[in-house]
Homo-oligomer: A and B are copies of this chain.
Amino acid sequence: MPRNRQILLARRPLGAVRLEDFQLVTGDTPAPAEGQVLVRHRWLSLDPYMRGRMDDVPSYALPQPLGEVMLGATVAEVVESRHPRWASGDTVLGMGGWQEWSVVAGDAPGLRQVDATRVPASTYLGALGMPGVTAWWGLTRLVAAQPGQAVTVSAASGAVGSVVGVLAKARGLRVVGIAGGPEKCGYVTGELGFDACIDHRAHPDARSLAAALAQGCPGGIAGHFENVGGRVLDAVLSCIQPHGRIALCGMIAGYDGRPVPLAQPQLILSKRLRVEGFVISEHPEAWSEALPELHALVARGKLRPRETVAHGIEAAPEAFLGLLQGRNFGKQLVQLD
C-alpha cells in the first residue's frame, strides 16, 4: 500500500494565490477494488484554469472543493489493474490530481491510453493534450482566419499560445505573438516560427502595444487568440480590423484579485467584432478532430514546445505561483518520481 503525498486546497485565495493556500499531506493509497486501477503519477500538468477553480464563484467548472486534493491532469503508469481494459505498465492520461498515486475506475471518462515510446510522455499534457486541443479549437473554430490573413496570440510562449502559433503557420496564416521579455520573444520567433513577437513589457500602455501589433501585421489583424486579457485585450481591440474575431481562452491578467475592466467595449460595435469565450471541456468532439493534425506536427518536429519542469509533488504550489506570474517558460509540469 503505497504512501501517497498529496496537495490539498487548504483555503481559498484572497487575491493572489499564496503558498499557505495549499497543504501537503501524506496518506495511504487504497488497494484497487474490482473494476479499478492503481496508477502511479509520472507527470502532473499545471494550468491557469486551476486558479479559477480555487475561487468559490460560478464559472464553467465547479469550484475545487476545500480540503480535497487539487484537481489536475496527469500522465501515469498503471501499477495494478482490476479492469480488463488496462494492464500493468500501460501509460494513461487522466485527471489524477496533485498527488503521487491514485485509484481510478477503469472506465472513467477521459482516461485514455497514450503511446510514450515515440514522443515524451509529458507531450500528452501539452501539445497533444488539453492545451493543444484548446489551441486547435480556438484557432480553427472561433478565430477561423483564412490563409494569408494575420492573427495575434497572447501568452505566445505558453502551452496554448505556442501551439496556436505553430498551427497558424501550418495553415498559411501570418502570426504575431505577444510575450513577456526578450527571451520568450526570441523563442517564439525562433523555435516556434512566429512571424514576429511583441514584448509587452516594452510597451507599458495599450496604445503603444497596439501600435507594435499593427506594425507586426501591416495587412491588418483578422483575429486574435486571447490568453491574458487586461491591457493586452485593450490593445488588440484598438488595432484589430473590422469583422475581426477574438477567441477568449484565458484572462490570466485578472485571475488574482479584482476584474480588469475593458477600456473601450464600444470597439466591439464600431468594428463589428465577434468576441467569444470557450472552454475545451465543453467540446469533447474537438479531440478526434484536432489530434491527427497535432500528432502530424509533433511527428514532423514542428511542434515541440518548451517545458518548465518542477520536481516532486511538494514543488507544485511554488511552480503554480510561478505560472500565474509568468515565471515559467512554455508548458509548466511537475515530474514525480
Interface of A with B (CB < 8 Å)?
52, 58-60, 229, 233, 242, 248-251, 254, 259-266, 268-279, 282
Contact = CB atoms under 8 A, between A and B. Distances in A.
B282 A277 contact: no
B233 A270 contact: no
B263 A272 contact: no
Contact of A268 (B271, B275, B282): B275
A274 B246 CA distance: 10
Contacts of A282: 272
Contacts of A275: 268, 274-276
21 contacts: A60-B270, A60-B272, A248-B268, A248-B269, A254-B266, A259-B263, A259-B264, A259-B265, A260-B265, A261-B262, A261-B264, A262-B265, A268-B277, A269-B279, A271-B277, A272-B278, A272-B279, A272-B282, A274-B277, A275-B275, A275-B276
Contact of A270 (B59, B262, B263, B272): B59
A229 B270 contact: no
Q: What number of copies of this chain does the assembly contain?
A: 2
Contacts of A254: 266
A85 B188 CA distance: 61
Contact of A276 (B60, B266, B273): B273
Nearest to A247: B269
Given A60-B242, A259-B264, A262-B261, A251 B269 contact: yes
Contacts of A276: 268, 272-275
Contacts of A274: 274-277
A58 B233 CA distance: 19
A77 to B, nearest CB: 35
Contacts of A264: 259, 261
Contacts of A229: 265-266, 269
Nearest to A226: B269
B251 A266 contact: yes
A270 B229 CA distance: 13
Nearest to A233: B265
Nearest to A52: B270
A277 B259 CA distance: 23
Give 5 closest A-B pairs by Cβ, nearest first. A269-B277, A262-B265, A262-B262, A261-B261, A59-B270
A260 B268 CA distance: 13
Nearest to A249: B269
Contacts of A265: 229, 233, 251, 259-262, 265
A63 to B, nearest CB: 12
Contacts of A270: 52, 58-60, 277
Contacts of A262: 261-262, 265
Given A60-B270, A273-B276, 11 more contacts: A60-B272, A229-B266, A229-B269, A248-B268, A251-B266, A251-B269, A261-B262, A261-B265, A268-B276, A269-B279, A270-B277
Given A261-B261, A261-B262, A273 B269 contact: no
B272 A266 contact: no
A284 to B, nearest CB: 15
